[in-house]
Amino acid sequence: MPLPRSVLAVTLYPFVFIRKGCSTPDLRKHELVHCWQVQRDGWLRFYLTYIWHGLTRRYRDIPAEVEAHAHETELPPHLAALVDLGVKNISDVDSVNS
């Protein structure tokens, strides 16, 4: 799946695509937060809301991005449950070329 050059990663739950060579712990945590957001909000609601916010706000002002950026350096404890669901292998999908 080709990603636009400015995009390092994208979460299309339950899949996370990270540009080859760009995977970092903080980026993986960021995408894991998006996985959690989809679980919390529901797939349809999350993506419709994200797209609407993406059309009407700057990237950094999208609420889902604000929340994900806030947790990049330290994953909140409640996300540990996702690790138990197999998302721990998120780095294994680091095979996307542009």
Binding site for Zn ion (CB under 5 A): 65, 68
Q: Find the residue with minimal CB distance to Zn ion.
A: 68
CB 31, min distance to Zn ion, A: 7
Query: Token match 């990237």: residue?
Result: 59
Closer Cβ to Zn ion, 59 or 77, answer by number: 59
Closer Cβ to Zn ion, 63 or 86, answer by number: 63
* Nearest-angstrom CA–CA distance, 76 and 56: 28
Q: 37, 92 in Cβ contact below 8 A? A: no
CB 68, min distance to Zn ion, A: 4
CB 82, min distance to Zn ion, A: 15
Tokens of 74: 């330290």
Query: Token match 């542009």: residue?
Result: 98
Closer Cβ to Zn ion, 70 or 98, answer by number: 70
Amino acid symbol at 20? K
